[in-house]
Chain A
């Protein structure tokens, strides 16, 4: 049995090979010359690497064996990395002190194709939450090993990284503080508001539309409007500046993120609590439970998956939006992105954008696992309730 998506991946992968695989530039600013995948090394290793890549793509066609498709994707990705290391050594040989090599369109397209093949194969295997956690751990471990091994250290983006190591980890921690801290504060404010909305539908009818309008405001405008507002607070309220409240920097970015987070938290809390089966509510009431007891023992546990799904939306969204903080001096990976855009240094843009994407993907997968882990509990209780 042939897999139709696998066939599509094979064709797309072969087409991507005709695009330039790597570029060689005289320095970090100018555009480079492209080289095809077969121009990167001596014939021997080239043929071997391309052969492994083709074999990996071909294994993706085997629809009946998802495990083989996953292995094929892994083989293909390995071949891509190998070609990259072969190519950087060949291209940099005698190219001058400031020369930079970077992966080009062909490489990125193949990465996307193989990553989709991997995802498609894994979806076919439909692993449980713990297995997914294990797979995520293995992938992150391999990625960390690859990045610290020095195999890729000749690439331009890794040179941008090594010349900015302290700034990079600074940006990482700032980015995490912004996105996780605003998630925490939004949960502290939003959960009680969600419970209040659940109790008083009239409050829900006024609060939720207001919060959705808030979320409609484009991020740059929201961050911008925060600046005079917080600047004013910092200037007029004594002691506010001492705790870091000012028009520019961390505070306006943080507050804007919290405002964006409220809608998913409040709406999903109200929806989660409201999703309790009437029979379970009836039983809890029949046992003489008070509102607080019902909330703690019945409605919150049963609504947990939906509430967590709201927190997932917030976390992924905030990791992305925190990039904008780089424009108003709030730090994070956005600082690299916008610095790179100003200097037209592509690799600096990537140094900001790629870790942001990786953080968002990992956060999304982790929260999905958490949602899945809380789900069987729900089924178990709702089955035993009647």
Chain B
């Protein structure tokens, strides 16, 4: 376990160094650059690209979480039950849509820039969160729900104190899936002129500069892996807390 912790710290340090002090790594990337060509990407600061990239993902995922969880709560109440089969159909069909295609289809509607990327990230991010929130809210243990009703909790209290806390780990898994997809799609967003880390990779592809491609790829890859890892640990922690609480009752 401490080996994993050490690796985590080392990778985080490497990522920060790659973003903040790219010139330290010139020796490592130099063999991949074309002879006489630039080695380190300098058309934009890697820090600002990273912040932009993460900003897009955080903004889209937060909005997607808020909307998806609200919708999932609505369709799992008696009043919205008529929409439950439809919402299942929509998530099934929607998740078949390739994220890249969603991005490409957002351009005709919204033009180039960060706008279509944000909308594509948001729309695509809705689906895994919505699906998992529905799964979480419809597979609660009947005995617990019965007990909650038995001690006189009203609908709102049941939702707040019982249903949402119990469904939280499953919802978090959905958010993790959604964030991972958003990180990847935001990278491709640079093909529609969004300022993200994909820009470094694309610049490398366009000028046949493998040093750029590798640099961008490493940074994006490290971000994705570290964020994924952090979210898994958050889920484990919360799951233990929820099941621990249930066992103590």
Does B205 contact A327, Cβ atoms closer than 8 Å?
A: yes
B90 interface contact, C-beta 8 A: yes
Q: Is the CB of A219 within 8 A of B83?
A: no
B6 within 8 A of A: no
Known: A217-B224, A360-B98. A5 touches B82 (CB 8 A): yes
- Asked whether A218 and B187 contact (CB < 8 A) given A323-B101, A357-B101, the answer is yes
A-B contact count (CB 8 A): 139
B225 at the interface (CB under 8 A from A): yes
- Indicate whether A216 sits within 8 Å of B224 (C-beta atoms), given known contacts A341-B104, A357-B98: yes
Which segment of B105-113, B133-141, B164-172 sits at the interface?
B105-113
Given contacts A224-B217, A360-B96, contact A327 B191 (CB under 8 A): yes
Report yes or no: B205 in contact with A328, Cβ–Cβ below 8 A. yes
Q: Is the CB of A120 within 8 A of B89?
A: yes
On chain A, the residues within 8 Å of B85 by CB distance are: 120, 123-124
A320 in the interface (beta carbon within 8 A)? yes
- Would you call B220 and A221 a contact (CB within 8 A)? yes
Q: For the complex, is A119 an interface residue (Cβ under 8 Å from B)?
A: yes
A346 touches B108 (CB 8 A): yes
A2 (CB) vs chain B CBs: closest residue: B82
Q: Choose the segment among B13-21, B44-52, B196-204 that binds chain A (4+ C-beta atoms closer than 8 Å).
A: B196-204
Q: Is A338 part of the contact surface with B, judged by Cβ < 8 Å? A: yes
B64 interface hit (Cβ, 8 Å): no
Q: Which residues of B contact A56 (CB under 8 A)?
A: none
What is the interface of chain A mostly: helix, strand, loop, or mixed? helix
Interface residues on A, range: 35 or more
User: In chain B, what residue has the closest Cβ to A220?
Assistant: B187
Cα distance, A94 to B56, chains bound together (Å): 45
Q: Closest chain B residue to A320 by CB distance?
A: B98
Given A116-B86, A224-B204, A341-B107, decide whether A361 and B214 contact each other with a Cβ distance below 8 A: no
Complex Cα–Cα for A170 and B35 (A) = 35
Contacts known (A219-B184, A323-B98); A228 close to B210, Cβ less than 8 A? yes
In the complex, which residues 207-255 of chain A have their Cβ closer than 8 Å to any Cβ of chain B? 212-213, 216-222, 224-225, 227-228, 231, 247
Query: Secondary structure of the B side of the interface?
Result: helix
Best-buried of A224, A231, A344 by chain B (most CB within 10 Å): A224
Residue of B nearest to A318 (CB): B98
Residues from chain B with Cβ under 8 Å of A3 in the complex: 82
A360, B97: Cα distance in complex, Å: 7
- Interface CB pairs A-B, < 8 A, 19: A120-B85, A123-B89, A212-B228, A213-B225, A216-B224, A217-B224, A218-B183, A221-B187, A221-B218, A222-B217, A224-B213, A224-B216, A320-B101, A334-B100, A337-B104, A341-B191, A349-B107, A357-B101, A360-B101
Task: Report A's interface with B, CB cutoff 8 A.
Answer: 3-5, 8, 105, 116, 119-120, 123-124, 212-213, 216-222, 224-225, 227-228, 231, 247, 316, 319-321, 323-324, 327-328, 334, 337-338, 340-341, 344, 346, 349-350, 352-353, 356-357, 360-361, 364
